[in-house]
Every structure is written in C-alpha cells, then in structure tokens.
Amino acid sequence: MTTYGILYIGLALILVLGSAFPLGAYMARLFEGKIRLLAPVETGIYRICGIDPARQMGWASYAIALLMLSVVHFGLLYAILRLQYYLPFNPQHIAGMAPMLAFNTAASFTTNTNWQAYAPESMISNGAQMFGLVVHMFISAAAGIAVAAALMRAFVSGGLKTLGNVYVDIVRITLYLLLPVALVAAVVLLIAGIPMTFDAFPTVHTLAGGTQTIGRGPLALQEAIKELGTNGGGFFNANSSHPFENPNALTNLFEIWLLLVIGFALPIAFGHMVGRKREGIALFAAMALILGLAMVGDYAAEAANNPILVHAGVMAKPGNMVGKEMRFGIAQSTTFNTAATGTSTGAVNSVTDSYTPLGGLIPMFLMQLDEVAPGGVGSGLYGMVLFALLAVFVAGLMVGRTPEYLGKKVQSREIKLAMLAVLIQTMFILAGAGFSLLTKSGLGSLDNAGPHGLTEMLYGWTSATENNGSAFAGLSANTPLLDYGLGLAMLFGRFAVLIPVLAIAGSLALKPKLPQSTGTFPTDGPLFVGLLIGVIIILGGLQFMPADTLGPLAEHYLMLAGKTF
Amino acid sequence: MLREIRPALSLVLLFTLILGVALPAAFTGLAQAVFPFQANGSLLERNGQIIGSALIGQNFAGPTWFTPRPSALSGTDAKGKTIATPYDASESGGSSSGPTNAGMFGNVKSRIAAYLKAYGPGPVPDDAVTTSGSGLDPDISLENALRQAPAIAIARKLPPATVTALVNRLAAHRLLGVIGTDHVNVLKLNLALSRMSAP
C-alpha cells in the first residue's frame, strides 16, 4: 500500500459524497413534483401514451403498472435481440441471438443487472445496443428510483392511501435527472476519446507490418448512462477496462463518480423529503462507512500482491497487475471495482477473477450485503430502508417497545415482508450456486480449479441475484443451466424485493405519523448507524460465511502456502 | 391490470424512439461534426495511411520494438483450433485465470525468463509479464520501458541515451501525485522510434 493509493480513495469519496448533498436536495424537489422545467414535453408524452398524470396509485397499482412496464419492455428487448440481423445499424452483420441467451439478456437488462453472458463485439449489433440495451438502461434505472421515491412518500405524513404515479415518476426522473446528466457526461467522455460512430470496424495496417481490426461503435452515450444508472452493460467484452470505454485515469475517476453519485444522493433526498435531514445523513453515513472500508481493504489486498508471483521473480510493487490496465494501476482499479459492486453496476475496469482471493472476496461480499453501500439507483436506498426497519425492530426487541421508524410504527407485517425480501435473495444465491456445482454442466462452466472454481460460481449467482452484473469472467455463463437459472435469479432478485418494498410502503403510508417522544429510539445518531451496520453484516453477510470460507478464504491460505491448481 | 397495457406499451415504444433512435443518431451526428477524431476512435495516420488507434495497443515483437504487455486474447484458425491472437481489437478481454491457477504461473515464469534474456538481469516489472484486463492495453509502466530501452538502442544502433530520453519525453505521469500512473504508450513510443531509425 502507498499513501497515494489511500489519497486516491479519499479523493474519489470526497468528490462523490460532496456532490451528493446538492444533488440529493434537487432530487427531493423532483420527487415532490416541484421540478417542471419541461412541462410541455411532459404533457406531450402523457397525451401520446394515454397517461393521466393526476391519477394517484396505491401500492398495488403502482406495483402492477411497474410489472406491466417490465413485461412489455422485456418482450420488446427479447424480440430485438432475436431479430437484430434484420434490424438497422448492424454493420458487422451479426446474427440474431439464440433464444436462451436472448432470454438471459432480456432478463438482465430489464432488472438493471446488465449481466453479460454474450461477447458484445461479435454477438450484438450497434442497433440492438442502442434501441435495445440503452433504452433499458434509462428505464430500469428510472424505475428503481421511482420505487425509492414511492417508499420515501410513505414516511412523509400519515393516513396516505397512495404513493404517486409510476409513469409520471419514470418520465420525470428520466427527463430531469438521468437524461441531462447522461448527456453532459457523454460529451465529456466523447472529448476524452470514447467513440461515437455508426461505421464498421476499420482494419488498419499496423506499424510492425500486421493488420488489426478495431472494434468501435456508438458508445459514448451508452457509457454515460451505463455508469449513471448503475447499469454496467459494456459495449465491449472487456467493459470499462477497454481503452475505448475508459481511455485514461481521469475518465476512470469520472466513471466512478457517475456510478456512485445518485446512490449517495438518494438518502440525502430522503432526509429532505421527511423533513429531517439528519435521518438521511445517518443512512448516508452507514453507506459511506461500509464502502470506504471495502475500498481500503480491496486496495490493501491487491497492493500486497500474490506471493506466488513475487516468488516467481516479479517485482512486488505496485501489486497484483494480472487483469489490470497499466493506466489505472492498483488503487484506481480496485476503487472502480468496489464502487461498482457497492452499487448494482455490472461494470469492471479490471478482471475480478484474477484478483487475489481477498481482493475478489470484498466485491462479492459487498453484493452479498444486499448492495446497500450505496446500492443501485433506487434499489440501494430501499434496501437500506429495509435494513433500517429491521434495525429498529432489533432495538425494539432489546428494550421491549414497539419499534418506530420516522414516526411510523413498525409491526409484524413490515418485518415479515422485509425478511422475505432479504431471505429470497440468499436462497437464490446459495441454492443456485450449490445446485449448479452438483451438475456436470455447472462444473463444465468453471475456468479455474480448486476453491477458485467455487468462488466463480458463487460470484455468478450473487451477481445475478443481487442485480449487479459484474462477473468472475472465467465462468462460461452461456449454457442452458446458467442462461435460464441466472435469468430467473435476476428476475426474482429484482421483483421479489421490489414488490415487498412497495407493499411495506403501502402499509406504512396508511399508518398515522406519530410525534417524536422521549421514548423514541433516535435513528439519526452514531448509535443507530452502528446498529444499522451491525444488522446489515449479520443479516446480509453472515449467511454467506460458510460459502465464502470454502471459496475465497480457503484459497487465500492456500495461496499463502504456495499451492496452485 | 389491463388498463396498464396501453400506457406501458406506448411509454416503452416512445422511449425507444426518443432515447434509442433519435438521441443516439443526433448525438452521433454532433460528435462526428465537432469531435470527429475522438468519435471515430482516435485513429492515427502516417503517410496518409491509418496505422492504428492512439488508445488501442498493438502487437510488437522482436528486439527492435518496445514490447507491449502480454495479451490474453485468442481466436480460432481456419481449422477451428484455438490460437493466440494478441491485440486483436475486434474482441477484448483478460485471461480470467485465478490467483492460484497453475497454468497462469507457468506462463508468467516463461515470460520472466524471456524478459531476463532479452533485457538482461534485473528487476522484472509486474506489468511486463502479466496479461491486462482488456487484452488491448496500450501502455507499459515507465520502469518497464526504461528496462527495455538499452537493448532496443543496441538493436537499432542508436545511442542508449537517445532512446532513454525518448521514453522519458513520451512518458505520462501521475497527475497531482494521485490520479493515474507513470506509463508510456507503446504505439506512440514505437512510432517515434521508427521516425528515428528504420527497423
């Protein structure tokens, strides 16, 4: 470890955390319907789509409309992928996607996961990237934020029967948040060297006398929303380690900022919405503490290098460079990958599969904590509120009082739903990875032997279920078992959390808002932040300890002993 | 449930038209008009012929060129056999070998031996013998380039100080001491080298 690495992590966090405050204040105004700069455009959209913006939806209608939107969009993407050969913008003449891979990919982008079982350069056309994937990157991100906004409204006052209008929320979040920021970011990334062209791959005569065909396409815009919406679907197989997706250290820092900023602005917006800013800051602090520790830990693991490599004769410094890009080195690679797994961004700027065992464990553990540090756009905030409800419940049990959160009584219905959301993800991850490893097909997908193979499979199911999308890239995921299995895991990981969250929002909204009394457990101080982090680690993380011990931890000690497979 | 079909369907189609077709088309037009160099992939020309991209690494081998990092990319030949295709930029990716992968260590050991043979005894920079994340890494570390410089000077019959000075002139440094790394773009380095002397 060097001082500059720690300084870099500090710099990245300061840039993100500092800008989260003004952005959060702006987003609160947006959720309250006070931002109406483009009112005529909005009205036009509502008229064309037959949307009544004045309609208020209860939690069930909100959930049904969101599901319907997802079903329709899933179907459209599936069709686009199957038919891409016949659609425009296909200069490389790429064939239609096979049914199982198209199912997996459609599930992946509908759920904001962006798991990529395909190699983009040879398996997806420019057109399918643009009007298939990029549109999902906007809508799935907006949908996640909309659910978070609906949940926030449940805490604002008492006796509310409705949570807002999902269509209006999605349109406004897209128009006033995602689109403007993505456009500015796309211009910055374009100037920094990210291509934006519809032309085919050029073949050039290289300096040494060979030829080289250079993949390119309309990716500057995709890159911007890919990070901002915590999507992560790369235009290229190598994702943000590809020089065209991430040309230099400044774009790397900018991409880290983009993928974290909305996640950290959401708790601030929450504080503004409920009229108690400190409540938002408490959630924000828990997120920042977990992420900051993970970033430092991951950097330390990779900077320590692999003793077997050092023994073979390479310089110990700067650290483990396998799978990393020279322009990023160690700290800027680990910071990107931990930021991406702390959110639900499936982007990577280095190969996590080639990280040291502990360096790979930390990103996986961040996902296993149900991605709340700060989590995907929207999903991170509502995941964090679920943990906050569980934390006040645990505190209530200790002192024998009915727990309250922000003036709302937390009762058995809310706790049951919150536990359902947490447990369903754990079940998919552990049962899915365990089952896959019992099958011949699953074992055939592994690229590495020994405990690392177990980690590859566990990481894959964790990433899909938690809707992250990053991968231990050695896992060959385009098999019937994993295409369908992980596809289902992504759908359940998204909707089996999102629907309970909306149900909780509906039930909390109805309850009266109780005034604070001296007996109220304060949820805006360091005591609560500590309790919250404890609950996240115990409930989110502890269930994975046995699996994580057999995979990365076992491999760590074997690596120290010089064992290879 | 059925009342949501019309708004859902029309919203998805409308967004697809606006965000998926009109927006990328307009943005590409603008990008091509204002920043054509970047928009087309930062392509470099020499004598009116495109020789590569400033951002994408190329494969160089032999004693007269600076050697880039190993690339893990592979493809299939005409007979369907898997062959190494280093720096084939129509694809991208790393090796995905784990930290206890015996095959990876075998590769690294033979690369270390080759490196020491080519550039003489001394430290072996990590980046010189490990594959990158993209398989297209355009850069090598400054240490690595400076280690290679004397041998290249001999092969090209140039004074060693000239080649070392060239490396230092083209090197990029860590910004403000925090952002980035000390590295050199191999294509730009070799391009400058080829202007100094024919290989």
Closest chain B CA to residue A244: B55
Task: Give bridge partners of residue B53 from the DSSP assignment.
Answer: B43
- Indicate the residue type of A477: A
Return the SS3 of A283: helix
Report the DSSP beta bridge partners of residue A213.
A203
**pLDDT 10s digits, B43-75:** 999 888 999 999 999 999 999 999 999 999 999
**Using the beta-carbon criterion (under 8 Å), do B7 and A329 form an inter-chain contact?**
no
The DSSP element (H or E) to which B49 belongs, if any, is strand B49-53
Of A117, A96, A91, residue with least CA distance to A197: A91
How far, in Å, are A1, A244, A299, A451, A467 from residue A501 at the CA level? 41, 38, 34, 36, 16
Question: Can you give the pLDDT at residue A403?
Answer: 92
A541 CB near a chain B CB, below 8 Å? no
Q: Give backbone dihedrals phi and psi of A404, rounded to 5 degrees, phi first.
A: -130, 145
- Count CB-CB contacts under 10 A for residue B42: 21
What DSSP state is assigned to residue A213? E
Q: Could you read off the pLDDT tens digit of each residue along chain A, which spans 565 residues?
A: 889 999 999 999 999 999 999 999 999 999 999 999 999 999 999 999 999 999 999 999 999 999 999 999 999 999 999 999 999 999 999 999 999 999 999 999 999 999 999 999 999 999 999 999 999 999 999 999 999 999 999 999 999 999 999 999 999 999 999 999 999 999 999 999 999 999 999 999 999 999 999 999 999 999 999 999 999 999 999 999 999 999 999 999 999 999 999 999 999 999 999 999 999 999 999 999 999 999 999 999 999 999 999 999 999 999 999 999 999 999 999 999 999 999 999 999 999 999 999 999 999 999 999 999 999 999 999 999 999 999 999 999 988 888 999 999 999 999 999 999 989 999 999 999 999 999 999 999 999 999 999 999 999 999 999 999 999 988 999 999 999 999 999 999 999 999 999 999 999 999 999 998 888 889 999 999 999 999 999 987 889 999 999 999 999 999 999 999 9
Which of B1, B64, B73, B96 should we substitute to test contact with A (largest number of A Cβ atoms within 10 Å)? Answer: B96
pLDDT per residue as tens digits for the range B85-130: 999 999 999 998 999 999 999 999 999 999 999 999 999 999 999 9
pLDDT of residue B1 exceeding 80: no
Helix (H, G, I), strand (E, B) or coil at A542: helix
Q: Is residue B199 very low, low, confident or very high in pLDDT (cuts 50, 70, 90)?
A: low
**CB-nearest partner of B7 from A49, A218, A332:** A49
Window 340-399 of A, Cβ < 8 Å to B: 348-351, 353-357, 360
Predicted local distance difference test score (pLDDT) of residue A473: 87
How far apart (Å, rounded) are the C-alpha atoms in residues A156 and A247? 44
| Residue contact B40–A332, C-beta within 8 A | no
For tokens 């300084």, name the residue: A7
* Nearest of B75, B85, B131 to residue A211 by alpha carbon: B85
Longest distance between any two alpha carbons in chain A, whole Å: 79
Q: Where do we find the tokens 């007996």?
A: A519
HEC readout, A350-361: CCHHHCCHHHHH
Instruction: Note the pLDDT of residue B197.
Output: 81
Give the position of tokens 């409705």: A162
Where do the H-state alpha helices sit in A177-219? 179-192
Q: Which of residues 19-48 of B touch A (CB under 8 A)?
A: 19-21, 23-24, 27-28, 31-32, 35, 38-43, 46
Cβ–Cβ pairs < 8 A, chains A and B: 364
**DSSP string over B16-29:** IIIIIIIHHHHHHH
Tell me the whole-structure pTM to 2 decimals: 0.97
Is the pLDDT at B198 greater than 80? The verdict is no
B171 Cα to chain A: minimum distance (Å): 11
Which of A394, A386, A391, A393 is CA-nearest to residue A411?
A393
C-alpha to C-alpha distance for A129 and A70, rounded to whole angstroms: 18
A81, two tokens: 């992928």
Instruction: Assess contact for A296 and A9: CB atoms under 8 A.
Output: yes
pLDDT at A353: 95
Bond into B36 cis (ω within 30): no
**Residue A359, amino acid:** G
Rg (CA), chain A: 23
How far lies B157's CA from each of B151, B153, B188, in Å?
10, 6, 20
Answer whether residue B173 shows pLDDT above 80: yes
Separation CA A233–CA A254 (nearest Å): 17
Identify the helix (H) or strand (E) that includes residue B51. strand B49-53
Return the half-sphere exposure (C-beta side, CA atoms, 13 A cut-off) of residue A125. 23
CA angle A328-A334-A337, nearest 5°? 105
The b-or-e profile of A383-413 (16+ CB within 10 A means b, else e) is bbbbbbbbbbbbbbeeeeeebbbbbbebeee
Count CB neighbours of B83 within 10 A. Answer: 10
Q: Calculate the CA dihedral of residues B30, B34, B36, B37 and round it to 10 degrees.
A: -140
Phi, psi torsion values for A516, nearest 5 degrees: -70, 135
Please check whether residue B186 touches A, CB under 8 A: no
Separation CA A346–CA A133 (nearest Å): 14
Phi-psi map region of A241: left, alpha, beta (phi>0 left; psi -120 to 50 alpha): alpha
ipTM of the complex as predicted: 0.97
End-to-end CA distance of chain B: 72
| Chain B residues 155-184 within an 8 A CB cutoff of chain A | 172, 174-175, 177-181, 183
